């Protein structure tokens, strides 16, 4: 047994239904020769829709295929080329917007950064849709720009443009890492090293639709067991990928349901339908059936129609119109009448929808009796491994090694995407702007410009779209944010025109300069401003402002006050030390000043102090009285008296107070009043007017004496009868 030569290519097509392994050798003229192949179906459903669900079971099948091929060809196989299912690809369309007002003229690097930020946003959207926390679980296999926009208008190119807002709309295609990781895990268990990777639609297109034909709008549909993968060419490249979650198994299941067949028996019957006019089979009850091809097809017509509908609808969705032709490959393409039904739904001539098999591949000189459409993809994998291999490459970002899947010509931007660098943060952001209002007008003070990132590739400055190779070393330093905006009133006042204020102050003529108010408070001209400050530049408008501008103002010009206490309660009294006059009229500090006003001020010689009665609160002056009615008149008879003390000494209500004085009021209650007490509060003549009359005294109508007690509400009568 000998080692495989470097030129031999071991290719594996790991499908939902089976694993196909073949060994290919390059031949002269860019051709290839198939040295041998092996095929084995999965015993269990270890693959679902092209994705490995049971790594161990799939690895066991790979091992058996590999061992049989090694034994047949007397080789030792260690390296292998494989393909990721096209159904694993995800396409995302997104639009990003960026404020470019602080960037000046847009450079090539700015535009690439904007495009990559859109790709990264699509990556995040895809992760959210699939509820994956780490958006780096998706490889970007390519993207294309749909449109550029500048300040809301579509534009052909952003290069060297200026504006406030730039937008870019991209379509990006991604491959989940788990697809690649599960492939690597299965190969590792089979002692195989992944030499190269391709995508199944690309592999098939490479052998059926060479680059010279890709200007044609052709749809290639790989109909497998679980899904149908679609790739569409046009304008010289592959313009779209898609997938339909239906394929050959739906037809097999319809047969199984129609005739009560075991799934594997139904699969055999389906395969015979494409080559035999009559088929014989036994159902699960042991009954044997012999039916014509047309009889069987009539029972699965609905399933075939449904598959044709799904494939046609998806092609129209991806291509926006019927393509020029459709190629069907894969085992499911042998479904009876499927090409005709697809052509009808796409309004294409029947000759434009065809099943393509190995015989259509011109790049092989010897195909080792391979035939049929199911072997197109395995052969394409082998060719892609030689002509369009996708490999891992190791690069270093800031001295940290990164192993990147080389899905395309990798660039510096791809490395940053893979490393999870926030592309929107590459360039330093402009510093925060500041808005202020000056005399009612909005002014915007921009922040400082952010700096560009520094990117060195092997020590040399490069752009984001610079290509990278294995073992390259990248040093990346993100741009620094600009400083926040700063400003002072003196810097903003150039556009403001405010006259001086001419007044006469104590017979001295003055011409006063404008003043600065910030948020209603007077401030210095060099005061640092804050965002949303309200600034007013104007002439002094009040007496206080005039005195301040004239440097004549002192704090004791304000109303003065001192405090004192009444029964421990703190009280305050205000008084003025200065007198002010405007044009001969007494004035206050808040009074308005006009141009050419005559202002006079002086300190008062003395300020009279208030009396205790002037400052005593009403509630503290309350006396207790007994209120009665005497001969029809209401009388108040005091039953208490208030004693006043000033700083501990007895005082009168008329005595003046002083600063920090302590006034104490003490209420003393008298004895209970009697009838005779009322005589001190009446002025009527109470003597008998005629001799011989008798004095009658009553309280509330009852006879009483002078010493009887009285209370509030009593009615007292005093008369001579």
- First-last CA distance in the chain: 160
Task: Note whether residue 646 is domain-resident.
Answer: yes
67 three-state secondary structure: helix
List, in order, residues 6 or more apart from 124 with CB less than 8 Å away: 135
pLDDT in tens, 678-717: 888 887 767 766 777 888 889 998 999 889 998 889 998 9
421 three-state secondary structure: coil
pLDDT beyond 90 at 48: no
According to the model, what pLDDT value does residue 606 have? 62
According to the model, what pLDDT value does residue 494 have? 73
According to the model, what pLDDT value does residue 414 have? 80
Task: Note whether residue 555 is domain-resident.
Answer: yes
Q: Give the helix/strand (H/E) hosting 22.
A: strand 18-27
According to the model, what pLDDT value does residue 587 have? 93
According to the model, what pLDDT value does residue 596 have? 92
Residue where a domain stops, chosen among 459, 477, 495: 477
pLDDT beyond 90 at 467: no
Locate 469 and state its tokens.
Answer: 């190779």
pLDDT in tens, 617-663: 766 666 678 888 998 889 888 877 778 888 989 888 888 888 889 98
Residues 698 and 588 grouped into a single domain: no
pLDDT beyond 50 at 113: yes
Task: Note whether residue 535 is domain-resident.
Answer: yes
Locate 621 and state its tokens.
Answer: 């002056």
Residues 510 and 578 grouped into a single domain: yes
Considering 14-18, 100-104, 219-223, 497-501, the range whose residues carry the highest mean pLDDT is 219-223
Residues 541 and 622 grouped into a single domain: no
Task: Note whether residue 324 is domain-resident.
Answer: no
- pLDDT above 90: percentage of residues in the chain: 25
Residue 33 pLDDT grade (very low, low, confident, very high; cuts 50, 70, 90): confident
According to the model, what pLDDT value does residue 388 have? 61
pTM (predicted TM-score)? 0.52
| Rounded Cα distance, 368 and 670, in Å | 136
Residues 618 and 601 grouped into a single domain: no
609 three-state secondary structure: coil
126 three-state secondary structure: helix
Q: Is 578 exposed, middle or buried (0-12, 13-18, 19+ CB in 10 A)?
A: middle
Residues 644 and 695 grouped into a single domain: yes
List, in order, residues 6 or more apart from 716 with CB less than 8 Å away: 628, 629, 630, 631, 675, 678, 697, 698, 699, 704, 710
**Average per-residue pLDDT for the chain:** 84
Residue where a domain stops, chosen among 447, 477, 507: 477
Residues 468 and 513 grouped into a single domain: no
What is the rounded average pLDDT of the residues 522-544? 90
pLDDT beyond 60 at 597: yes
Tell me which DSSP letter residue 577 carries. Answer: S
Q: Are strands 165-176 and 90-99 parallel, antiparallel or unpaired?
A: antiparallel
The number of distinct structural domains making up the chain is 3
pLDDT in tens, 262-277: 888 988 898 888 788 8
Residues 695 and 716 grouped into a single domain: yes
Residue 310 pLDDT grade (very low, low, confident, very high; cuts 50, 70, 90): very high
According to the model, what pLDDT value does residue 134 have? 64
More confident residue, 503 or 383: 503
Residues 633 and 699 grouped into a single domain: yes
Residue where a domain stops, chosen among 551, 585, 608: 608
Residues 631 and 708 grouped into a single domain: yes
Task: Note whether residue 289 is domain-resident.
Answer: no
- Rounded to the nearest 5 degrees, what angle is found at the Cα of 649, between the Cα atoms of 646 and 650? 90
According to the model, what pLDDT value does residue 412 have? 87
Residue 347 pLDDT grade (very low, low, confident, very high; cuts 50, 70, 90): very high
Task: Note whether residue 418 is domain-resident.
Answer: yes
Range of the domain at 525: 487-608
| Rounded Cα distance, 122 and 174, in Å | 9
Residue that the structure tokens 């003597």 belong to: 687
3-state secondary structure 264-307: HHHHHHHHHHCCCCEEEEECCCCCEEEEEHHHHHHHCHHHHHHH
Tell me which DSSP letter residue 382 carries. Answer: H
Query: How many of the other CB atoms lie within 10 Å of CB of 85?
Result: 27
pLDDT in tens, 251-263: 989 999 999 998 8
Task: Note whether residue 666 is domain-resident.
Answer: yes
According to the model, what pLDDT value does residue 2 have? 40
> How far, rounded to the nearest angstrom, does the alpha carbon of residue 225 sit from its chain's CA centroid?
41
Residues 494 and 574 grouped into a single domain: yes
Task: Note whether residue 229 is domain-resident.
Answer: no
pLDDT beyond 50 at 1: no
Beta bridge partners of residue 627, listed in sequence order: 636
| Rounded Cα distance, 592 and 434, in Å | 33
319 three-state secondary structure: helix
- Rounded to the nearest 5 degrees, what angle is found at the Cα of 19, between the Cα atoms of 328 and 223? 20
Residue 83 pLDDT grade (very low, low, confident, very high; cuts 50, 70, 90): confident
693 three-state secondary structure: coil
Residues 473 and 534 grouped into a single domain: no
pLDDT beyond 70 at 152: yes
pLDDT in tens, 483-520: 899 999 888 877 677 788 999 999 999 999 888 899 98
Q: Is 9 exposed, middle or buried (0-12, 13-18, 19+ CB in 10 A)?
A: buried
Query: How many of the other CB atoms lie within 10 Å of CB of 204?
Result: 31
| Rounded Cα distance, 54 and 233, in Å | 34
Residue 157 pLDDT grade (very low, low, confident, very high; cuts 50, 70, 90): confident
* 301-319 and 338-345 helices, crossing angle to 10°: 40
Looking up residue 572, the CATH number of its domain turns out to be 3.10.20.30
Residues 538 and 430 grouped into a single domain: no
| Rounded Cα distance, 455 and 419, in Å | 14
According to the model, what pLDDT value does residue 115 have? 83
More confident residue, 104 or 549: 549
More confident residue, 361 or 352: 352
Considering 235-239, 475-479, 494-498, 580-584, the range whose residues carry the highest mean pLDDT is 580-584
Find the range with the poorest average confidence among 97-111, 533-547, 609-623: 609-623
Q: Is 19 exposed, middle or buried (0-12, 13-18, 19+ CB in 10 A)?
A: buried
Q: What are phi and psi of 295, to 5 degrees?
A: -65, -40
| Rounded Cα distance, 280 and 269, in Å | 8
């Amino acid at each position: 047994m000998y080692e495989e030569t470097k030129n031999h290519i071991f290719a594996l097509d790991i499908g939902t239904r089976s694993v196909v392994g073949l060994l290919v050798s390059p031949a002269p003229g860019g051709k290839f020769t198939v040295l041998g192949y092996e095929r084995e179906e999965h015993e269990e459903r270890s693959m679902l829709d092209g994705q490995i669900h049971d790594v161990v079971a799939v690895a066991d099948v790979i091992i058996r295929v590999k061992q049989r091929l090694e034994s047949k060809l007397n080789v030792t196989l260690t390296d292998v080329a494989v393909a990721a299912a096209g159904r694993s690809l995800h396409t995302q369309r997104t639009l990003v917007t960026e404020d470019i007002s602080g960037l000046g003229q847009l450079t090539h690097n700015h535009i690439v950064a904007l495009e990559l930020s859109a790709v990264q946003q699509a990556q995040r959207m895809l992760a959210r849709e699939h509820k994956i926390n780490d958006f780096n679980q998706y490889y970007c296999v390519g993207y294309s720009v749909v449109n550029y926009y500048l300040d809301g208008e579509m534009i052909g190119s952003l290069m060297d443009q200026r504006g406030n807002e730039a937008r870019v709309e991209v379509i990006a295609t991604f491959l989940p890492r788990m697809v690649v990781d599960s492939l690597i895990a299965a190969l590792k268990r089979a002692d195989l090293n992944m030499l190269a990777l391709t995508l199944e639609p690309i592999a098939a297109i490479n052998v059926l639709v060479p680059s010279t034909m890709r200007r044609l709008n052709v749809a290639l549909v790989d109909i497998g067991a679980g899904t149908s993968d679609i790739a569409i060419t046009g304008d010289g490249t592959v313009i779209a990928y898609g997938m339909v979650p239906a394929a050959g198994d739906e037809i097999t299941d319809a047969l199984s349901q129609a005739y009560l067949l075991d799934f594997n028996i139904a699969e055999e019957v389906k395969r015979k339908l494409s080559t035999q006019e009559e088929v014989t089979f036994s159902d699960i009850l042991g009954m044997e059936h012999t039916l014509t091809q047309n009889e069987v097809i009539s029972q699965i017509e609905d399933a075939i129609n449904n598959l044709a509908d799904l494939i046609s609808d998806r092609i129209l969705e991806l291509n926006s119109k019927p393509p020029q032709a459709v190629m069907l490959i894969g085992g499911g393409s042998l479904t009876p009448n499927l090409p005709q039904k697809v052509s009808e739904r796409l309004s294409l001539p029947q000759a434009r929808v065809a099943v393509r098999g190995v015989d259509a591949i011109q790049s092989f000189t010897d195909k080792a009796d391979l035939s049929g459409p199911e072997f197109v993809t395995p052969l394409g994998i082998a060719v892609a491994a030689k002509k369009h291999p996708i490999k891992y490459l190791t690069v270093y970002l800031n001295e940290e090694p990164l192993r990147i899947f080389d899905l395309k010509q990798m660039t510096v931007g791809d490395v940053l995407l893979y490393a999870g660098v926030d592309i929107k943060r590459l360039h330093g952001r402009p510093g925060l702007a500041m808005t202020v209002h000056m005399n009612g007008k909005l002014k915007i003070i921009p922040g400082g410009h952010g700096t560009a990132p520094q990117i060195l590739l092997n020590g040399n400055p490069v752009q984001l779209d610079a290509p990278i190779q294995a073992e390259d070393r990248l040093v990346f330093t993100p741009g620094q944010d600009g400083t926040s905006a700063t400003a002072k009133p003196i810097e903003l006042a150039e556009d403001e025109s405010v006259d001086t204020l001419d007044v006469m102050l104590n017979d001295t003529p003055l011409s006063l300069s404008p003043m600065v108010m910030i948020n209603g408070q007077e401030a210095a001209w060099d005061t640092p401003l804050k965002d949303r400050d309200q600034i007013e530049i104007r002439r002094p408008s009040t007496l206080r402002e005039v005195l301040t501008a004239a440097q004549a103002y002192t704090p004791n010009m304000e109303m003065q006050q001192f405090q004192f206490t009444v029964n421990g309660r703190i009280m305050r009294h205000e008084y003025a030390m200065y007198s002010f006059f405007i044009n001969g009229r007494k004035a206050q500090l808040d009074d308005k000043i006009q141009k050419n006003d005559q202002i006079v001020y002086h300190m008062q010689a003395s300020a009279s102090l208030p009396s205790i009665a002037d400052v005593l609160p009403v509630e503290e002056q309350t006396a207790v009285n007994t209120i009665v009615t005497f001969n029809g008149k209401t009388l108040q008879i005091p039953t208490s008296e208030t004693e006043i003390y000033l700083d501990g000494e007895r005082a009168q209500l008329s005595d003046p107070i002083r600063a920090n004085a302590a006034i104490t009021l003490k209420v003393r209650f008298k004895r209970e009043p009697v009838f005779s007490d009322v005589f001190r509060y009446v002025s009527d003549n109470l003597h008998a007017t005629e001799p011989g009359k008798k004095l009658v005294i009553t309280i509330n109508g009852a006879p009483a004496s002078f010493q009887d007690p009285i209370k509030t509400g009593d009615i007292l009568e005093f008369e001579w009868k």
